Amino acid sequence: MNTKIITNVGIYVTIALGPILLLQVYGIVHAYLFYSLLGGWIVYLIAGAGVALNKKRFYMLTSLLSILVLVLSLSQPEHYLFFSQGKVYAALTFLIGDLLQVIVLAGSFSILASKKDR
């Protein structure tokens, strides 16, 4: 498959999973964290719209968002406890979300580095 298609699907699936994450954390995290996550999802939604409109510069935004998500997600020890505590849905959200971010990051870098479509 084409790198751009895989990257775009990763972006769109990330956007689709955002509300699922928000529903999972609503009421169990502080309000500021919930609204920070909501704001991040809205920015990702805007980036996804730019990608859907075939605007190459939005891949830079998805790269930055992916890095931010990975840094914030992987640095939280609580996220690793989901597996040992048997919190299957939370563990799957963490695992799938971070895997998607790696796909989006690699694909976005590849698209930005390509000379085609410049």
Residue ranges per domain, the chain? Answer: 3-113
DSSP for 3-57 reads HHHHHHHHHHHHHHHHHHHHHHHTTTS-HHHHHHHHHHHHHHHHHHHHHHTT-TT
Q: What is the pLDDT of residues 26-84, one digit of tens each?
A: 988 899 999 999 999 999 999 999 999 999 999 999 999 999 999 988 888 777 777 78
Helix axes 88-113, 77-84, angle to 10 degrees: 130
Angle value at C-alpha 77, between 35 and 23, nearest 5 degrees: 35
3-state secondary structure of 65: helix
